[in-house]
C-alpha cells in the first residue's frame, strides 16, 4: 500500500486506528490483560489509548439509547482483539478486515480467528460485525490525556456514524458485547471496533460444536456484516463459566485439595439432583458425608472420617435459565452473587479457594451447580 503522507489531514473509512503518541506495537493475549491495564494507569500513550476506547464505548451506548436499542457491554477480550488488529494495520500500513498470514503482527485472517488467538483457542464469544478506520489527529496540541482521548473517540464515532455500513454496525440490534481500540503513530490513528455476543448454546443439549457463518456481503467501503450462530455443548458452557468466575477470583490462589473436595461434591449434587451440604452413603458419587470430611479426605488425612471442624467453609449455588436466554457473563455474575454476596463474604480476607461447576442442558433449559470452598 502507498505510504500515508503524515502532513495530510484527512479521514479514510474502513476498519483501523492510530494515535498521536507512538504506541508499543505488540500483540497480546488475555493472559497479558492485567499487565496492559496496569500500563493504562501509568504510561501516557497507554492511558490515552484506553481512555479513547472507553469514551468511544460511552458514545456508542448513548447513540444506541437514542435509537431505542439496548446498550452493549464492554468486553476486554474484544478490546485486545481490536488492539491486535489495529497494530497489524499500523505496522503494515494497511486498512483491512482481512489479515494475511506471514505479515508482521498476524493474529488471524478474520475477526473470529483473531478472537481465538486472544483466547488461546477457547471460543467464548462470537463476533457480529467489525468497523475500522484511520485518520490524522492534529487537535491534540496543548491538551491533556483525557481531552486527547475524547478527540479520538469523537472523531471515530462521527466518521463511522456518517458511513451507512459502519453506522448499521453501531446500531445492530443483535449485538450484546463490544470492544474498541485505537493505536497511534505520531498524528496517525488506526482504530477497530468489534461487536458480538457471548457464545449462545441454541442447541446446547447436543454434544457437538460447530459454527454457521452467514455473510451478508461487503459494500464498496469494505464494511463487513456477519452473523455467527454457535452451537455448543454443556462442556463448553462449563468451561466458559469456569473461566469467567476464576477471573473474578484472580486475587486468590486455587488450592488442589479444596478444588478436589468441591469437584467431588458437585459430582454428587449433579448425579442426585440435590441441593445439600451433606452426602448420603449409598447414593451415586458418594465421597464423604460432611464438608469437613470431604476436605480432610482430599487433603489425604488418615482419619478424615473423624473430621468435625475446618478452617474452610463450603457454599453452593444453583442457577437455571432457558437455553435461548443464556449469557455466560451474566450467569457467572449471578452465580458469584449467590456464592459471595448472599453469604456476605469479603474475599480480601481469604488467600486460597476451591471451586467447581457442573452444567446440565435438557429440554431447552440450562441448569448450573456451583460449589465454592473458601
Indicate the domain borders of the chain: 30-230, 234-373
Express as a percent the part of the chain with pLDDT over 70: 79
Report d(CA 95, CA 133) in Å as an integer.
Answer: 7
Q: CA torsion, points 240, 347, 41, 33, in degrees to nearest 10?
A: -20
Higher pLDDT, 191 or 237: 191
Identity of the highest mean pLDDT range in 18-22, 112-116, 118-122, 365-369: 112-116
Predicted local distance difference test score (pLDDT) of residue 122: 75
β-bridge mates for residue 335, sequence order: none
- CA distance to 77, 87, 180, per residue, from 69 (Å): 23, 31, 19
Report d(CA 299, CA 109) in Å as an integer.
Answer: 47
Tell whether domain 234-373 is in CATH 1.20.58.
no
Question: Looking at residues 208-224, what average pLDDT do you find?
Answer: 31
User: Which CATH number is correct for 30-230, 3.40.33.10, 1.10.760.10, 3.10.28.10, 3.50.50.60?
Assistant: 3.40.33.10
Unique residue bearing C-alpha cell 467464548 = 124
Same fold yes or no, 30-230 and 234-373 = yes
Report d(CA 87, CA 270) in Å as an integer.
Answer: 46
DSSP state of 347: G
Mean pLDDT for all residues in the chain: 79
Question: 23: pLDDT confidence band, cut at 50, 70 and 90?
Answer: low
Question: Looking at residues 250-277, what average pLDDT do you find?
Answer: 90
Terminal alpha carbon distance of the chain: 57
DSSP-derived pairing of the beta strands 11-14 and 125-136: antiparallel
Report d(CA 217, CA 327) in Å as an integer.
Answer: 28
Q: Which of 149-158, 167-176, 211-220, 256-265 is predicted with the least confidence, judged by mean pLDDT?
A: 211-220
Q: Which residues contact 129 (CB under 8 A, 6 or more apart)?
A: 169, 172, 175, 194, 195, 196, 224, 225, 226
DSSP-derived pairing of the beta strands 188-198 and 177-185: antiparallel
Q: Tell me: pLDDT of 9 over 90.
A: no
Please, are residues 204 and 239 in contact by the beta-carbon 8 Å criterion? no
Amino acid at each position: 500500500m502507498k505510504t500515508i503522507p503524515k502532513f495530510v489531514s484527512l479521514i479514510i473509512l474502513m476498519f483501523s486506528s492510530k494515535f498521536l503518541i507512538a504506541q508499543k506495537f505488540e500483540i497480546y493475549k488475555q493472559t497479558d490483560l492485567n499487565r496492559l491495564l496496569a500500563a493504562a494507569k501509568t504510561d501516557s500513550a497507554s492511558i490515552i489509548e484506553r481512555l479513547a476506547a472507553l469514551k468511544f464505548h460511552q458514545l456508542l451506548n448513548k447513540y444506541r439509547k437514542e435509537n431505542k436499542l439496548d446498550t452493549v457491554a464492554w468486553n476486554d477480550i474484544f478490546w485486545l482483539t481490536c488492539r491486535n488488529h489495529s497494530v497489524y494495520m499500523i505496522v503494515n500500513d494497511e486498512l483491512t478486515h482481512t489479515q494475511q498470514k506471514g505479515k508482521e503482527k498476524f493474529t488471524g485472517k478474520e475477526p473470529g480467528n483473531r478472537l481465538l488467538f486472544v483466547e488461546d483457542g477457547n471460543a467464548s464469544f462470537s463476533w457480529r460485525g467489525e468497523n475500522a478506520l484511520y485518520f490524522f489527529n492534529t487537535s491534540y496540541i496543548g491538551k491533556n490525556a483525557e481531552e486527547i482521548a475524547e478527540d479520538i473517540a469523537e472523531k471515530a464515532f462521527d466518521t463511522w456514524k456518517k458511513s451507512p455500513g459502519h453506522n448499521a454496525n453501531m446500531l445492530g440490534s443483535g449485538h450484546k458485547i463490544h470492544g474498541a481500540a485505537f493505536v497511534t503513530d505520531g498524528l496517525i490513528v488506526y482504530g477497530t471496533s468489534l461487536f458480538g455476543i457471548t457464545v449462545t448454546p441454541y442447541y446446547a443439549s447436543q454434544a457437538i460444536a460447530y459454527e454457521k457463518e452467514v455473510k451478508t456481503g461487503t459494500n464498496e467501503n469494505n464494511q463487513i456484516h456477519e452473523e455467527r450462530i454457535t452451537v455448543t455443548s454443556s462442556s463448553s458452557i462449563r468451561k466458559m463459566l469456569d473461566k469467567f468466575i476464576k477471573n473474578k477470583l484472580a486475587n486468590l490462589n486455587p488450592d488442589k485439595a479444596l478444588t478436589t473436595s468441591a469437584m467431588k461434591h458437585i459430582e454428587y449434587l449433579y448425579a442426585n439432583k440435590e441441593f445439600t451440604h451433606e452426602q448420603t452413603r449409598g447414593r451415586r458419587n458418594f465421597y464423604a458425608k460432611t464438608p469437613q470430611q470431604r476436605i480432610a479426605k482430599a487433603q489425604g488425612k488418615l482419619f478424615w472420617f473423624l473430621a468435625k471442624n475446618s478452617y474452610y467453609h463450603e457454599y453452593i449455588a444453583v442457577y437455571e435459565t432457558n437455553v435461548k436466554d443464556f449469557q455466560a457473563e451474566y450467569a457467572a455474575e449471578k452465580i458469584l452473587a449467590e456464592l459471595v454476596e448472599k453469604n456476605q463474604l469479603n474475599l480480601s480476607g481469604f488467600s486460597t479457594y476451591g471451586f467447581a461447576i457442573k452444567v446440565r442442558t435438557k429440554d431447552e433449559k440450562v441448569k448450573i451447580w456451583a460449589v465454592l470452598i473458601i
